[in-house]
Every structure is written in structure tokens, then in C-alpha cells.
Chains A and B, each alone.
Chain A
Amino acid sequence: MTSSSATAPESDAAASTTAVPATGPVPADAASPPASAPAAGSPVLSVRDLSVSFADPRGDAPVHAVRGLSFDLARGEVLGLVGESGSGKSATGLAVLGLHDPRTTTVTGSIRLDGQELVGAGEQALRRVRGGRVALVFQDALTSLSPFHTVGAQLAEMYRLHHPGAGRAEARRQAAAMLDRVGIPAARTDDHPHRFSGGMRQRVMIAMALLNNPDVLIADEPTTALDARVQDQVLDLLGELQREHGTAVLLVSHDLGVVAGSTDRTLVLRGGREVESAPTAALLAAPREPYTKALVGAALTLDSVPGTPLPTVDDPSPAPRPTPRLRSGAAAAGSGSATGGRWLVEVEDLSVHFPGRRRFPGTRSEPVRAVEGLGLRIAPGETLGLVGESGSGKSTTSRVLAGLQPATAGTVRYDGLDATRPDRALRRRLAKEVQLVFQDPYASLNPRRTVAQTLETPLRLHTALGAGERRQRSAELLEQVGLPADHLDRYPHEFSGGQRQRIGIARALAAEPRLIIADEPVSALDVSVQAQVLNLLMELRERLGVAFLFVSHDLAVVRHFCDRVAVMHRGRLVESTDRDRLFAAPHTDYTRELLAAAR
């Protein structure tokens, strides 16, 4: 990209005019009803027939991330750019700032910022735009803030870059002020990013983005990495600032929930093409396109009918099963009666501590108490949801049950037997009857082994089947999770995320387990895929009557899938009760907060 002198002066003019909207008419603009915003005045950003494609490093055919996308963004408007991974939404965001690597990427079409063409604009012009008139907020603030510089310094730099006259002191003052505005005390301006919590870091990012009153803010999945409660806080903050500065926001997200609460208009992307675009409220209320319908339907809310099959792209309006899962009630009773019958799993004041960092030879810092005095019970065939924010110790608990993590204290009884110090026989039983489904479909399959090899491992370990029978069985398993049997000899990288998750489930089923521990099995998947996998799990649960320990941070999913729910916070059990009771009348404030955030 060489600076074309033609655009340079023009951009100067544009730059000078940008001062106006930033100061004067902003409140009025913000006040005007969002729906009418597009009509009012010329759009600050207008994208026409935008296409982005990446060259494949292996030299294969180029990948088309965005194809012929067009949209307008009016001043002060918030436009939601919704799509599943690979829909090209992020690529669009980057294209606006010309941040793609010019060697591997080709961008065609037109992006006009106040009439200034950005596609093919010179580096000089673009640099003036970046951070000055268009600012970015990335998904993960930990990686997008420099770990080597203090947040204060990074903001100050942002300021000075676009106020050439300003001195260091001035810049630092501005930075401190902005940080204070987003709720970060001046005392911490000299801290490095890794010292902040996820939410705080995201606040820093936002502060930095808005430091120079940009006309347009591109927020790329700004809250995806955060817990629900923090998510809300950050979104609120973003909203406030946006109204204050009258900044136009392009909110890129995969989560309809996020978009619903905070955008005026929504544009749905799929495979780099626009599917549907309408005022958000309208779009959510009455989606026109089937894909949109599916997305809206698949996005679980707290008022779905538990246990019912969810709409998917292929089947936008599934027939509700005649008898929606009644076990819930049964389980509720069961929890009482199970004293007579016996629990599958009983956990009594379980504690898991991790040794602290070694400071000196000998001395160590305080151990990390991941789980503290936890008690749990799972009846056969029952599904227990384990809810909590990141770091609440839910994964650790599941690892203990899976026998991957020794307990520091407390007992785990499986089928009445002591599983904390199991003998060989019990260890074999546990290995067979307790299986795992993981969160990350990419990490959970060995990239160097075919599906067949992966599926046959448990068979070889736990069954007496011969080679032929094993292959036979794995084929069945594959079909059971809805994949064609002829995929047996493929390698994981030939499958998509959802398919891999299915394979993971098939592997779990292979040993005919009685308990499946599913650690966030759907949270890494796209909404529609999420729905499909959930449907699959529910179906299998009905068919095989296997018990589940379902670990998740997503209340909606838990509510839809589980019979009973246990809430964890800072390694302790906050509350554990029947699903309906919990969602109807939460006992603790913490649970209430969680629910509020999920609404």
C-alpha cells in the first residue's frame, strides 16, 4: 500500500471537520430515536460491495471471508454485526481500518468514512484515521494490550499520536481522566495489564478507544471472554460512553443476547454475505429469513421449555417431543427417595488445594484453594448442572470426579464405594463407567489419530471385542451421534467444531458409561451448532438413561438441560437444589445476581 497523494489532502479536510460532530450536535443526535437514525444525515461510514479474501499459506485456493457486503452506519448509531464464526464479521471490522496484512489479503469494494475512501488509501491517511476517527476494541484485552507497558502509558501514547501538539504531562492527564471515567482509579494508571481483571482490562481498552472521540468505534466481540455479570457492566459502560460522545458503534458479536440489549440495528452475516438487516427489535421479534429464525430460536433464553428440542438451521421449528422430560420431577422426588435407593455419586466436603508458587527453595506462597468443603450428589440417570463463573472451581470438581485430580481432603463415593482411594477393580470400573466430554473440540481429539483409532481406544480398553467388531461398533457410535460411518478413517482436522464435539461424545459413549461429565460441552460452539449438540445430548440421555454432570457458566443452557442445579462460587457450594426451584426462587444473593445477568 503506497500513499496515494490524491486522498491525502481530502482526508485532511475530513479530519478537520470531524471536530464538529464530536462536540456540538452530539446530545441531540443521541436523543433522536435510533430507528430513524439511519435516515438522518449522511452516514458517517458507508460500506459498499466489500469483499475480503485471504491467500491460503499452503497455497490452496484463497478463502473468501467477506463477499459483496454493503451497509451504512449513521452518526451515533449502534449497528450490530451478528454472525457465527467464519461469517466474516471480524474481517469486516479489520477491513475498515486496513489492518489486514496486505500480502495475504485482498480487499475490494468501497469503504467511505465521511466520504473519504479507505480501501486502497495510503498508509499516511489510514494512520490518521486509525485511533483518531475510527477506534477498535478487540475481544481479548489481555492479548490486545501490550504486556510490556503500563495502561497509562498506552493511553497516553494513543492521545499524543493524534494530538501532535500535546506534551507528555497533558497526555498523561487525559489518559488518567479517561481511565477514571471508565472506573479505574488514577492510582492504577501505572499498573501493567496483567495486574487487572478481565473486566477492568476491557474497560481500559474502551477508555483507550474513546480517548480521541472517534466518529466510529468498532467493537469486535468486546465481552465474549467475560462472565455474564461483568459482561453486563461492560456493555452498560459502552452504551453510556457511546451516548456521551455520540460515537457510532459497529458491534461485532456472535451472541444475539448481547446485540439485543445494546444495538439500534442488526445485520446478520453468514458465510461473508448479508442474510438480513433490520432494526434490532424488529429483527428479534419477527425474523424474515429461516437462518435468522434459527439463530433467534437457538439462542436460549431463560423462558425456554426445558428439555424440549431446540430449533436449528436445518429444522427451524422442530416438533416438540410428546412427553417432555418428566425426570425432573422424578429426580426431585428421587432426591428424597434416593436415600432408600443409592446415589451414583456422593461427594462429601471435598477440598482441592493447589500448591502456591515457589518463592525460594523451601518457602512457598499461600496454596490456591480451588475447591473448599464441597458436597454433591448425583442419582443414577440424573442430570446435575454445575454452575459458576470462571475460577469458581467447577472444572476442578469435575476433574476430581473423573479421577484426573486427586482430592486434598473429603471423600468421593461412587456407587457406594470409596473412589478417593480406589482399588484396582474400582479404578477399572470408574475408567469404564465415568466418561468425559470436553469444552474445546479442537483440543479434545488427537490430531494425529483417525476417528476410528480414537473411538476404538476405549473399546480396546474396556471390551473384549475383536478388531472387526470394534470397527463395527465405532461405526455404529458414529451414526449414533449423527455422522456418516464412512468418516471413520478421517482425521480430526477434516471436521468442523460441531462434528468434532459429536465425535467426542461418541468416544464418551463407547464404553457405555453410567455417568458422563460434560465440561462446558457447548460453550465453544456457535449458537446454531450449540442447539444441535444440545439436542443430541438430550436425545442420547433419553435413550441411554445415563447420568450427567453438566458443567457450564451459561444459566440458560443449564436450565434447559439439567434436572438439578448446583451453584459454585470461589470454590464453595452456594446453593444446590431442584432446577425449577432455583430459577423460581433463588436462595442466595449471588444466585440472584447470576440470574439477573442472564436475563
Chain B
Amino acid sequence: MAVVEHVAASDAPPVRPAPPGLLRRVCRDRTGAVALGVVALFLLLALAAPLIAALYGKNPTEHYGQNAPGLLSDGGLPIAPNGGISGEFWFGLEPGLGRDVFTQLLYGIRTSLLIAFASATVTTALGVLAGVAVGYLGGITDRVFGFLSNVLLAFPTLLLLLALSPVIQSRLVDPGTAEPEWMQFLVLVLVFSAFGWIPLALSLRATVRSLRERDFVQSARAMGAGGFHVVVRELLPNVRAQLLVHATMAVPAFVASEAVLSFLGVGINEPVPDWGRMISRGSEVFRADPTYMFFPGVALLLFVLAFNLLGDAVRDALDPRAAR
């Protein structure tokens, strides 16, 4: 590496191609390409869920097993082997309610993605705001923020989420009226956002701190450029990469957290399809009907894995030093 730098420094302008687009660079690395493909597939499935469901002729809420005899046993378990997998129900039936697993999975992607993307957006926005501002202002603001983040990071997040999400819910919904679905989503996004922004803010703060001392910022300030110009024109462009990486990494993290909450029973309620809740139901019956835990479990694994791989690929593409 070091030597490459030197070469660039020799006074003859080096003939090197302008760096190719991020997408191209991500795809250059095979795993990156595959990951991108899988992620894209999931996104596509999420978007086309209604269409696919229509073609497939099932919906995620109808209790097929209960309404049509011969599908579920008296105990509510699918009668057909492997969790009732058949030409009609590709991934089988849900024990008890007898809903169609395939469409549930399909719509489950939407739930996960909606919450994950929303949370990622909010936290990224908050993180950038806080991180850049604090990093640029420094001084007392910085100290206060440092302390604040220490406090917030000391909290056992999962416990808080467990304890708070019902509270918030009951705060927002008045008894007597049915709780709208968007409310559940809102609540989750809120609780995630409350803590999710800190890591990004911390790392940005560090970056901006070092950038702030860089000569080009100094010269901008010496030229009488205002804080706004410095932040927007000089600093932000230099943390773009960091943002992108964080955002890509944040999405799977939130998908996982959402699943955890639903698994523990404080996430998304019936009848909204949700992977975490499917897994927890699966864990109840997985001795009798392993398939019902297998599908959401593996789907979730693939989903998160793909996103993480993509995140790595993006980081490597943006930062060749990390790529090695």
C-alpha cells in the first residue's frame, strides 16, 4: 500500500482509471454479488408478495386448516407429513390455526423489512445529525454527548425493549378501539430508534473529530466559510462511505432485533405475519412439526446472512484497505 501512495506522488500524473461505481465494485467480489442477488430477491418477494400470493391462490390470514376438514388433527397438527407440505400448501400449514406457511413467510419479509428500513433510516439520520454536530462542535457538547452515550450504552437494551414496548403501546392506544397495525410498527421503530443511533453517532463523531483538524477544513474556515458550509460541503461528503456501510449493516441488525422481540412476545401481534412469532410458535411444536420452525428460521438466517455479506462487500468496496 505505502509504496502505491509514493507512486501516486511522483510528479508525473499517474494514469489510473477513475474508481468504478460502487455497484460494479461490489459485484467484482463474488460473494458480494451473490449476497446482492439474495437481498434483491428478498426485496422483490416483499414487493411482489400480493401478486405472488394471488397467483399462488392463498393468503396469509385465512385459517385453511380449520375451515377445511382433514388438514389438521384434533390437536391442531397438520395431518399430512412434514407439516402438511403438499402441492396446495408448498411449505405446509401452521399448526393450530392452519394458515398457509408460504404466504406467511412471504408477508413476513414485508414486516421485517418495513421495520428494519424505517428504523435504519431514523437511526442513520439521528446518528449523522448527532455525530457530525458533536464531532464538529467538540468541547463541552462533546463531553456531554460522551457521557450520555455511556449512560445509554450501559442500559440492558433487550430488557428495556421488553419492558417499554408494552408501556408505549398502552400509552398510544386507548382501550375500546382496535389497535391499528401501523401502531405496532411505529412502536417498534420508536424503541429501536431510541438506542440504535448511538453507535453510528459515536463512530461519526470520531471521524469528524479527525477531519475537523484536516487542512482542507482549516482552510475553509480561514476563508470565512460558515459552519453550515463546513459541515455540509466539507465534512458530510467524507463520511458518506461510513454512512452507507452502517446503513447496510443496520438493516439486518434491526430485522434480527424485531424477530427477537416478536419471539419474546412483545413484537408484532396476530394477525400480521411475522417471522419471529412464527419461530416462537415453531419452538412450541418443533418436536411434533419441525418444518414450522425450520422455514422461518432458515429464511431469517439467509436473510440476515445475505445482508451482512452485502455489508462486508460494500465496506470492502469503499475501503480497499479493509478488503485486503
Contact = CB atoms under 8 A, between A and B. Distances in A.
Interface of A: 54, 56-60, 63, 65, 84-87, 90-91, 271, 402-404, 427-428, 430-432, 434-436, 438-440, 443-449, 453-454, 457-458, 461-462, 491, 493-499, 507, 511, 526, 528-529, 532
A296 B253 CA distance: 61
B220 A457 contact: yes
Contacts of A85: 6, 9-10
A496 B16 CA distance: 12
A494 B16 contact: yes
Contacts of B218: 402, 404, 436, 438
B12 interface: yes
Interface stretch (B63-71, B83-91, B231-239): B231-239
Contact of A497 (B9, B221, B234, B320): B9
B13 interface: yes
Given A85-B9, A449-B233, 4 more contacts: A54-B3, A63-B4, A86-B6, A435-B222
Contacts of B215: 436, 438-440, 443-444
Contact of B13 (A430, A443, A499): A499
Nearest to A496: B11
A63 B7 contact: yes
B30 interface: no
Contacts of B237: 446, 448-449
Contacts of B224: 427-428, 430-432, 461-462
B16 A528 contact: no
A495 B13 contact: yes
A56 B146 CA distance: 39
A54 B4 contact: yes
Q: Which interface class (under 10, 10 to 19, 20 to 34, 35 or more) fits B?
A: 35 or more
A447 B238 contact: yes
Interface string B122-139: 000000000000000000
A404 B225 contact: no
| Nearest 7 Cβ contacts at the A-B interface | A431-B224, A448-B237, A444-B215, A86-B10, A86-B6, A438-B215, A497-B9
Contacts of A532: 11
Contact of B223 (A438, A445, A457, A494): A457
Nearest to B4: A63
Interface string B1-30: 101101111111110111100000000100
B216 A445 contact: yes
Nearest to A54: B3
Contacts of B28: 59
Given A404-B218, A436-B218, A86 B225 contact: no
Nearest to A513: B223
A526 B11 contact: yes
A474 B214 CA distance: 23
Given A54-B3, A448-B237, A511 B13 contact: no
20 contacts: A54-B4, A57-B323, A59-B28, A60-B16, A85-B9, A86-B9, A90-B3, A271-B10, A427-B224, A438-B215, A438-B218, A443-B214, A443-B215, A444-B216, A454-B216, A457-B223, A494-B18, A496-B9, A499-B13, A526-B10
A226 B39 CA distance: 54
A63 B10 CA distance: 13
Interface in B175-229: 214-216, 218-225, 229
Given A57-B323, A90-B3, A462 B223 contact: yes
Contacts of A430: 224
B107 to A, nearest CB: 41
Contact of A446 (B9, B16, B221, B234): B234
A84 B19 CA distance: 27
Interface string B306-324: 0000000000000011011
A51 to B, nearest CB: 14
Nearest to A491: B18
Given A57-B1, A57-B320, A57-B321, A511 B7 contact: no
A433 to B, nearest CB: 11
B16 A507 contact: no
A439 B214 CA distance: 11
A263 B49 CA distance: 77
A444 B219 contact: yes
A55 to B, nearest CB: 10
Given A86-B6, A438-B215, A448 B223 contact: no
A491 B218 CA distance: 19
Nearest to A444: B215
A107 to B, nearest CB: 13
Contacts of A436: 215, 218-219, 222
Nearest to B13: A496
Contact of B216 (A65, A443, A495): A443
Contacts of A511: 223
Contacts of A491: 18
B238 A60 contact: no
Contacts of B238: 446-448
Nearest to B29: A59
Nearest to B234: A446
A122 to B, nearest CB: 25
Given A427-B224, A461-B224, A496 B12 contact: yes
Interface in B238-256: 238, 240
A371 B86 CA distance: 84
Contacts of B17: 60
Nearest to B216: A446
A461 B219 CA distance: 13
A404 B16 contact: no
A560 B221 CA distance: 31
Contact of A56 (B4, B9, B13): B4
Contacts of A427: 224
A360 B321 CA distance: 38
Contacts of A447: 238
A63 B13 contact: no
A495 B1 CA distance: 17
Contacts of B8: 86, 493, 496-497
Nearest to B28: A59
A449 B220 CA distance: 13
A499 B12 CA distance: 9
A431 B220 CA distance: 10
Nearest to A499: B13
A529 B9 CA distance: 10
Contacts of A271: 10
Contacts of A444: 215-216, 219
B11 A497 contact: yes
A526 B12 CA distance: 12
Contacts of B229: 457
B7 A431 contact: no
A396 B214 CA distance: 15
Nearest to B220: A457
B242 to A, nearest CB: 12
A457 B11 contact: no
B323 A457 contact: no
B81 to A, nearest CB: 50
Most buried by A among B8, B229, B233: B8
Nearest to A271: B10
Interface in B148-170: none
A457 B229 CA distance: 9
A427 B11 CA distance: 37
Contacts of B9: 85-86, 496-497, 526
B234 to A, nearest CB: 6
B227 to A, nearest CB: 13
Contacts of B222: 402-404, 431, 434-436
